[in-house]
Amino acid sequence: MADSLSTDSGSTDSGSTDSGASADGACDSLRERKKRRTQDAIHLAALELVAEQGLSAVTVEKIAERAGVSPRTFFNHWATKESAVLGLNALGGGDVAQDLRDRPESEGPAAALRETIRMFIRRISSAPERRELKRAVMLKEPQLHVLSAGQSQATQQDLIAAYEERLRRAAPQLSPDAVRARATLAVQVAYAIVRSAFAVSMAQGTELTPEFERTLEAYEAGGLI
């Protein structure tokens, strides 16, 4: 099985946390859910407005008004109106790479990447109707493809760098060239699996998260190439 998303052997963190830590975790989870809801509302408002009026006619102020937030709140979540339409948050790919860095050290590099990708899929997963709306907007506004492709490349490079950091700690015997090669392969395979899941999800009108799991299972079963 390839190194990219395979489950690492090794122990998992079984340490207990005290009630204070649990309370802090619950607050963080509540704040995160609120943040996601706000981001999602702004993203949907941006998609709807561009579908209705075209990208050039849509402003940040219009998006904020449709979403029921202030322009200041908009910029807390999105860097530009284009990023809101695409669903690319204000930090670009850096937050995904940081998710990988923040995974527990008890997880090996491959397991950490797997869980990071799962988190990413859960964040962007939405109903087929939403993705159909986004596809229609992308067809209507082809310049968005350039931005999307550039962001995807930047995210890949951020993830490769984060994977290298984990791999150097997990396998210090590897040469720098070997670390770079394995990190690049792991992230590129992960992206291929995500793209395949997207394609099947869009073609069949199914939810993205289970399609990702099915695609990952098919990859791990082997015999595809």
Q: How many CA atoms lie within 13 A of 201 on its CB side?
A: 26
> pLDDT 10s per residue in the chain (225 long)?
345 554 343 333 444 445 555 555 566 678 878 887 898 899 999 999 999 999 999 999 999 999 999 999 999 988 899 988 987 654 344 578 999 999 999 999 999 999 999 988 887 766 667 778 888 898 899 888 877 777 778 889 999 999 999 999 999 999 999 999 999 999 999 999 998 988 888 778 788 889 999 999 999 898 777
pLDDT at 119: 86
What class is the 91-225 domain?
A: mainly alpha
Q: Please spell the DSSP secondary structure of 135-159, one letter per residue.
A: HHHHHH-THHHHHHHHHHHHHHHHH
CB count in 10 Å sphere of residue 165: 15
Measuring CA to CA, which residue among 202, 28, 181 is closest to residue 127? Answer: 202
The pTM score is: 0.67
Fold of 20-90: Tetracycline Repressor; domain 2 (1.10.357)
pLDDT at 91: 38
CATH 1.10.357.10 range(s) for the chain read 20-90, 91-225
Structure tokens at 51: 């579908």
CA distance 47 to 51: 6
pLDDT at 1: 37
CA distance 78 to 150: 16
- Cβ atoms of 1 and 220 within 8 Å: the answer is yes
pLDDT at 206: 80
Structure tokens at 2: 């390839």
- Cβ atoms of 11 and 106 within 8 Å: the answer is yes
pLDDT at 49: 97
Q: How far is CA 180 from the centre of its chain?
A: 22
CA distance 45 to 201: 23
pLDDT at 81: 92
The CA-CA-CA angle for residues 122, 125, 131, to 5°, reads 170
- Cβ atoms of 85 and 55 within 8 Å: the answer is yes
pLDDT at 19: 53
- Cβ atoms of 117 and 190 within 8 Å: the answer is yes
pLDDT at 10: 36
